[in-house]
Amino acid sequence: MGRDLLIHVKDLRTYFYTDVGVVKAVDGVNLEIGIGETLGIVGESGSGKSITAMSMMRLIPQPPGRIEGGEVLFYGKDLLKLSEKEMMKIRGNEIAMIFQDPMTSLNPVLTVGEQMIETIVLHQKVSRSMAKRRAIEMLERVGIPEAKGRVNNYPHLFSGGMRQRVMIAMALSCNPKLLIADEPTTALDVTIQAQILDLMNNLQQELGTAIMLITHNLGVIAELCQKVLVMYAGNTVEYTDVNTLFAKPMHPYTYGMLESSPKLELRKQRLDPIEGHPPDPYRLPQGCNFAQRCRRIMPVCEREKPTLLEIEPGHFVSCFLYERVKI
């Protein structure tokens, strides 16, 4: 814990109150990102990975959502306690975000330049001409050819991959300390995905921006992240560094995820899927959320919820299999 923490999320809980019940979308998530680090959050749809990010940015629509508890410490100050006005200064400036579909997060009636300039002027208090120079510089940096001309183009004139580059340029234009990337390459083709990941890797090394990457794709995690948090049905199930996770996955869910994806290099053999499907978010089981799909289920798993424990140095797992070992 000797390193400088950029963001420290403690016991974050975000619930959604709908007319048919309560969804505990995020139920006690802890995470930390050091300066310049990359954390990956991996999970399937409904695991709460995006809601975690939205909660950190305080972008949960309220109602029906509500952040029920926890702290989001950014340089030691709790973002959840800030006024909306103070939060506005953080968003886009200190913490920036990019999304899966760049088209919906770009305003179609403004040129790319106008949108970038607006953000830069707002946060950096510089003149518009300065801001424009900065915008062009950023576009060049993310590999947009002829950035001087293209800065005056509307978003629809860019292809999917180029749009994601524009989003990255926009997000990084104010030198944020943390970039939250929510499925940044999911909508892109494989060859374009490779380009974007390559770009993010390079930029991270150049600028030293910390990245929190949200994805369902373990390959993307392996490519870009140092630390990984695996989420399942609103809970953290495993949290460790990337090499350990792939070499020695401890939680049966992580293990199952890794086993169930087709391997390119192996000869054809039958996949070993995780049976069943995720629990109904309105009727989460009393015990471990993964219990009903788990191959190594024990009686205790159906009664109690496991807690996230440091099983090995730097390797946190939320599973009774290891709690027992520890005791």
Binding site for another protein (CB under 8 A): 16, 18-21, 23, 25, 44-46, 50-51, 54, 60-61, 64-65, 100, 159-162, 189-195, 197-198, 216-223, 242-243, 246, 256-258, 260-265, 267-268, 270-275, 277-278, 280-282, 293
- We find the least distance from the C-beta atom of residue 196 to another protein, in angstroms, to be 10
3-class DSSP assignment, residue 157: helix
- We find the least distance from the C-beta atom of residue 12 to another protein, in angstroms, to be 15
For the chain, helix, strand, coil in percent to 5 are: 40, 25, 35
Instruction: Establish how many alpha carbons lie within 13 A of residue 91's alpha carbon, considering only the half-sphere containing its beta carbon.
Output: 17
In the chain, the amino acid numbered 28 is: G
**Which strands sit side by side in the sheet containing 77-78, from one edge to the other?**
21-34, 5-18, 65-74, 77-78
- We find the least distance from the C-beta atom of residue 77 to another protein, in angstroms, to be 26
Q: Which is nearer to another protein, 4 or 265 (CB)?
A: 265
Distant-in-sequence, close-in-space partners of 273: CB < 8 Å, separation ≥ 6: 256, 260
In the chain, the amino acid numbered 275 is: E
- We find the least distance from the C-beta atom of residue 325 to another protein, in angstroms, to be 25
Note whether 25 and 15 are within 8 A (CB). Answer: yes
| DSSP bridge partners of 33 | 7
3-class DSSP assignment, residue 21: strand
Between vectors from CA 159 to CA 141 and to CA 261, what angle results, nearest 5°?
A: 90
Q: Which is nearer to another protein, 168 or 220 (CB)?
A: 220
Q: Which is nearer to another protein, 16 or 316 (CB)?
A: 16
Residue with tokens 């999911």: 186
Q: Which is nearer to another protein, 272 or 304 (CB)?
A: 272
Q: Which is nearer to another protein, 304 or 312 (CB)?
A: 312
Q: Which is nearer to another protein, 120 or 143 (CB)?
A: 143
> What is the DSSP annotation of 64-111?
TEEEEEEEEEETTEEGGGS-HHHHHHHBTTTEEEE-S-HHHHS-TTS-
- We find the least distance from the C-beta atom of residue 261 to another protein, in angstroms, to be 6
Note whether 188 and 196 are within 8 A (CB). Answer: yes
- We find the least distance from the C-beta atom of residue 87 to another protein, in angstroms, to be 18
> What is the DSSP annotation of 162-225?
HHHHHHHHHHHTT--SEEEEESTTTTS-HHHHHHHHHHHHHHHHHH--EEEEEES-HHHHHHH-
Note whether 203 and 209 are within 8 A (CB). Answer: yes
- We find the least distance from the C-beta atom of residue 246 to another protein, in angstroms, to be 5
Q: Which is nearer to another protein, 93 or 100 (CB)?
A: 100
- We find the least distance from the C-beta atom of residue 272 to another protein, in angstroms, to be 7
Q: Which is nearer to another protein, 100 or 173 (CB)?
A: 100
Q: Which is nearer to another protein, 93 or 193 (CB)?
A: 193
Instruction: Establish how many alpha carbons lie within 13 A of residue 121's alpha carbon, considering only the half-sphere containing its beta carbon.
Output: 13
